[in-house]
Amino acid sequence: MAPTTTHFLPAPEVRKQFAGLSEDDENERLEAAKRLNLALRNVTENRDETVKYCLTRLIKGLTSANDSSRLGFSLALVELIYSLLDPKDPLLTNLPFRSVVQLIVEHTEPTGGLSRSEERGFYFGRLFGLKAIIETELLFTKESDISNWQSVLTQLVVLAQKKPWLRESCCLVIRNAVLTMESSQKELIKATCDELEKSGLIKSSDGIGIWIALLQKHKATLEKLNIRFQKRSSPFEKAYLRTLAKLLKESEGKDEDGEKLSQKGSWNARLSWVWDAIFEFYTSDTPQKDIASFPEFWQAVVNDGLFSSVSSDERKFWGFLVFNKAISTFDNKDTILLLFSRNLMKCFINQLSSPERYLHKAAQKSLRVIKSKAENSSSTAPTLLTCLLSRNGCLNFESFTKTKVIESLFSCADEQGQLEIVQFFKSLILQPAAEDSKSIEKSRQWAADQLLSIIRSSKSTPKSSCVFEIINIFVEYGHFNIKSNLSADLAFSATTQATFRTRLSSCLSELLQNPNFKSTVWPAKAVLLIKQKREESTDEFATTVDESISEEIEKVFKIISKLDKKAPTLGSRRYAFALMYSLLLLQLFNGEPDAMDMLQDLHLVFDKIGKERKEKEKKEDKHRHKRQKHEPEEHDHDHEEEEEQDSLEILIELLLGFLAKPSVLAKKMSQTVFKSFADSLSASALDSLLRPLVVDETQEGQRELFDIDDEDEVMDDTGSSDDDDEEEGSDVEVIDVEENSADEEDDGDEDDDDDDEDSESSDDDDNGEDDDDADDEPLDEETRKLHAALAEALGTSKNPDASDSDSDESMDDDQMLLVDEQLSKIFKHRKTPNKRQQRASAKESVVNFKNRVLELLEIYVKGDGSCDEKIRVIAPCLEAMRKTGNASVRSNAHSVLKSLTQSNKKKSPKDKEEDTTATATFTSPSSAFEILQQIHQESSQSNQNSQQSREHAASCSHCSLYISRILVAGDKSWIERIIELYFTKTMVNWMTDAKFGTQPALFTDFVTWAGTIRKSLTAVPVTSGEKVEITGRAGKSDKKRKRKNK
């Protein structure tokens, strides 16, 4: 029953300070508490009544539902109690300490008729009041009475037992009090231990936290006083682990002595503070004897406790919280490895696998904690990845959980960590966790794909040392027969070696297009690695070559070593030759039939250009000396230039040979090499590039481009049809001709690189599993014909009821030969693809080749070459746009023309919009005008009824304006001839001939452009032969004009 209300009121100076204790501002609450304490010290009359009034009001304020009031009143209570117990400057009263404790208990006892929340507020107020006494730290001084602490401890224990939902908070207060005590205060420590043992509070999860605090601060005192709980000196004794697991799991049961364990009243989603104490105990530097190691503790309490198969979802939720805290706490590699225990990982993967799982969000939170750990401590990234993919994890972790954790963890690793991750995948390649040969192949292919994905990663850039190690792995397992330290069951099959060679090509193609790695000729590094391993390794080289080819290989090795030794820079010819030699040698190792011929051609180009470069250097030195002596110079530059152009023409033919291959690496290499020589192309070399654009996308066009016979074509079609599924990471570029067929409306820019995307080779796992049921399926017409032909060749009966004994008759040699001939004819006919397949294959080859040529032409028109030569690409590109049935070819041709028309423009400094200034000139305007006439002739073949023709007409108009603008800028006299072409010839034909396909936009675009330059042309009279710089676009009024005497 609550005490009767007193009618005593202190002075107003004291009462008005209570209002400030409820303020939300922490500083205001602190100032109010100081003012209250000062006001009490200034009271001279009725001090005991005033202090008792203040204590009562402060204690009642602790029961408030307002958090700010509870904090403010608690702070003031601590100050007041400290003043009462301060041995140096006490607030003198006749109020004993027991009265303070009694007031707290009396005024926090709930009365009848209160709601549950109000009742909780009273008990929280009692806890805050008892905590306020402890926070003064005056209970544990040498001068303090031990009975004071005993009275407070008793009330805390009673409250913890009375209200189990407050037990955790009460034990935390006791734990903090234990840490405040001095080890020399043996009586205090003994009194505390006696109360904990007597009350049974030590046999609870929170009591374990107090026990740990006693061991951390007062272990020596406990040993001297021979204090043991439940006959144990530590809760971490090996024999006590089972009981400890039950306590921390909060499960019903009995301890090892058969006594019931103390449990909380309800489950709490928040993790107890006891786990912080446990991790602090195991991370302390203090040596511990006769206790279980942390791996033993984790296995017993977490793996076999919280994550046991019979644990509830609530306990597993706690387990994830404990795991998150442990991951954030420990940095030691061995400790992190044991955290990913068997039961934990099983639950972790299962919960991550589906959003419908009860603990899916908890598992996702743990995955975020793992990634956060790797971000904050990069050295742990390899260990974390190893735990997820091996040991108790699984290689298919990402596919099971639908996450992308490998790339995320790799991006967090430092250089040493990246190397460790690569070495981890290497160990999986050498010792795959599989039994049968098929599973071993798939496991190794998976590891190779992960190494390739590291190179392809968009989240992070691997270090050069990491890239080099990945290439080393692909080289070693793709080009050598690894036998050392491997059993016969783990030997690398030919299929696996081919996979690693393919991944090497894909890796090198990725490095070629990655701007972060272009400073190094990585294909040359791969070839030199092969050279080194051939000389040093005891493993056999996988490619068998004869003596002549071996000599050629050694010659190329020397050339590449020489080129790479001088660290060629991107864009240099040395860089280009290193690329070509490296790629051709890799193709030779892969068994490419034309690699040797291409090497011979490359030798010819390399020798000529290298010789010309040396002679040029000598002649420059000679000319320099002659100039110093004022001697006449010899002029033989024309002959040198002619020889160089011949070499470049051969080089272009070589690049076209590379483009004909379906390899992405060959494509990227060709583009990189082409950039080094694009500005020096001759007319004949450019013609070699333009010629394929006008070839028909048919079988005839295929034969014209690739110089193949009908028989070769059939063999190519047949051979390629057996392998429709592209392996992941394959270097083969695939173009879907049917998807990009003519009359498509949306011709968005296409990226051929995307054709190199991964496709899981595991899709082929089920091939052949349903063979037993094949007999039950109905046979198609072609199969029935095959059966009939076989029956006729073998002379078997078509009667299903015929006896099998007829087939047992033996044949003589002549009959066997006859049957053999018949079977050969049947299977040869069966192997030959139909005409539709041949046409589709031919079209795909031609389209692929055209696209790659167009990509080179775009590089060419963006370069610094002659404007007269660049415009020679216009007519073939327009013709290709008009004739092609493929959207990608049309789009790429349009892109080339767009790049051309924008390549010689620059933004006007006075207008930051699209105002442009023509800067290009023609050295042969008459030739340019001829090309302009070709454009108008080409425009006449457009057809406004199709999207393809509309794009073709727009490109004709843009290219026509481009040449017209440069001609007029160079010489005003060209205006008359241009207008004559536009309106006297082209427009007249358009008006009088219904079949003339030129679109009206050709004329309207020209008139619009003419309007923009009219002012600059008419401002000052310009005579024939003067150069005029034309600026402006439609809608612009501020124009510039310059005159230069020719």
**Over the stretch 798-849, which tens digit does the pLDDT of each residue have?**
444 444 444 444 555 555 556 666 666 656 555 556 778 888 888 888 888 8
CB atoms within 10 A of CB 186: 16
- 1030 vs 418, more confident: 418
Contacts of 331 (CB under 8 A, 6+ apart): 377, 379, 380
Q: What angle do CA 411, 415, 420 make, to 5 degrees?
A: 85
At 1018, list the tokens: 């008419």
Burial class of 1019 by CB neighbour count within 10 A (0 to 12, 13 to 18, 19+): exposed
- 769 vs 321, more confident: 321
Q: What angle do CA 428, 430, 434 make, to 5 degrees?
A: 65
Q: What is the mean pLDDT of the chain?
A: 79
- 677 vs 388, more confident: 388
Using 50, 70 and 90 to split pLDDT, how confident is the model at 231? confident
Closest by CA to 152, choosing from 178, 133, 171, is: 133
| Mean pLDDT lowest among 484-498, 536-550, 831-845, 902-916 | 902-916
Q: How far is it, in rounded angstroms, from Cα 139 to Cα 150?
A: 10
- The tens digit of pLDDT for each residue in 634-662 reads 444 444 555 556 677 888 888 888 888 77
Using 50, 70 and 90 to split pLDDT, how confident is the model at 260? low
Tokens 């994905």 label which residue?
453
Backbone angles phi and psi of 1043, in degrees to 5 = -120, 135
Q: Is the pLDDT of residue 262 over 70?
A: no
Q: How far is it, in rounded angstroms, from Cα 407 to Cα 456?
A: 10
Closest by CA to 509, choosing from 531, 529, 526, is: 526
> Domain extents for the chain?
492-624+640-676, 681-719+728-738+821-902, 904-1046
| Mean pLDDT lowest among 243-257, 430-444, 544-558, 799-813 | 799-813
Residue 237 in contact with residue 292, Cβ under 8 Å?
yes
- 722 vs 283, more confident: 283
Q: Is the pLDDT of residue 855 over 80?
A: yes
Q: How far is it, in rounded angstroms, from Cα 653 to Cα 638?
A: 23
Contacts of 580 (CB under 8 A, 6+ apart): 602, 654, 669, 673
Which three-class secondary structure string do you get for 9-23? CCCHHHHCCCHHHHC
Output the furthest CA–CA distance in the chain (Å, rounded): 139
Contacts of 635 (CB under 8 A, 6+ apart): none
Q: What is the mean pLDDT of residues 923-942?
A: 90
Q: How far is it, in rounded angstroms, from Cα 118 to Cα 60?
A: 12
Q: Is the pLDDT of residue 692 over 80?
A: yes
Q: How far is it, in rounded angstroms, from Cα 141 to Cα 147?
A: 13
**Max avg pLDDT among 264-278, 388-402, 810-824:** 388-402
Using 50, 70 and 90 to split pLDDT, how confident is the model at 336? very high
Q: Is the pLDDT of residue 915 over 50?
A: no
Residue 741, beta-bridge partner list: 886
Q: What is the pLDDT of residue 170?
A: 93
Q: What is the pLDDT of residue 802?
A: 42
| Mean pLDDT lowest among 107-116, 595-604, 606-615, 1016-1025 | 1016-1025
Give the end-to-end CA distance of the chain in Å, rounded to a whole number.
116
At 440, list the tokens: 């071993």
**Residue 88 C-alpha from the chain's centroid:** 66
Q: What is the mean pLDDT of residues 210-227?
A: 91
At 748, list the tokens: 């968005």
Q: How far is it, in rounded angstroms, from Cα 380 to Cα 420?
A: 11
Using 50, 70 and 90 to split pLDDT, how confident is the model at 614? low
- 797 vs 23, more confident: 23
Residue 989 in contact with residue 996, Cβ under 8 Å?
yes
At 739, list the tokens: 């998807």
Q: How far is it, in rounded angstroms, from Cα 132 to Cα 72?
A: 12
Q: How far is CA 86 from CA 72, 91, 131, 139, 1020, in A?
A: 21, 8, 17, 10, 103
Q: What phi-psi label fits residue 1038: left (phi over 0), alpha (psi between -120 and 50 degrees) or beta?
A: beta
Using 50, 70 and 90 to split pLDDT, how confident is the model at 914? very low
Q: Is the pLDDT of residue 875 over 60?
A: yes
- 306 vs 796, more confident: 306
Q: What is the pLDDT of residue 326?
A: 95
Closest by CA to 323, choosing from 388, 391, 378, is: 388
Q: Is the pLDDT of residue 788 over 60?
A: yes
Residue 698 in contact with residue 884, Cβ under 8 Å?
no
| Mean pLDDT lowest among 684-698, 734-748, 997-1011 | 734-748
Q: What is the mean pLDDT of residues 918-924?
A: 75
* Structure letter (DSSP) for residue 804: G
Residue 344 in contact with residue 338, Cβ under 8 Å?
no
Q: Is the pLDDT of residue 329 over 80?
A: yes
Closest by CA to 185, choosing from 219, 220, 142, is: 142
Q: What percent of the chain has pLDDT over 90?
A: 31
Q: How far is it, in rounded angstroms, from Cα 51 to Cα 93?
A: 8
**Max avg pLDDT among 478-492, 702-716, 1016-1030:** 478-492
Q: What is the pLDDT of residue 777?
A: 43
Crossing angle (nearest 10°) for helices 342-352 and 360-376: 110
Q: What is the pLDDT of residue 743?
A: 44
Q: How far is it, in rounded angstroms, from Cα 84 to Cα 52?
A: 11
Q: Is the pLDDT of residue 1032 over 50?
A: no
Residue 380 in contact with residue 373, Cβ under 8 Å?
yes
* DSSP secondary structure string for all residues of 247-313: HHHT-S-B-TTSPBPP--SS--SSPPTHHHHHHHHHHSSS---SS--HHHHIIIIIIIIITSTT--H
Q: What is the mean pLDDT of residues 671-687?
A: 83
Q: How far is it, in rounded angstroms, from Cα 290 to Cα 255?
A: 20
Q: Is the pLDDT of residue 998 over 90?
A: no
User: Per DSSP, which regions of 940-995 are E strands?
Assistant: none
Crossing angle (nearest 10°) for helices 887-903 and 874-883: 160
Sequence letter at residue 12: P
Q: How far is it, in rounded angstroms, from Cα 234 to Cα 215?
A: 8
Tokens 């057809």 label which residue?
943
Q: Is the pLDDT of residue 320 over 90?
A: yes
Q: What is the pLDDT of residue 267?
A: 74
Q: What is the pLDDT of residue 296?
A: 94
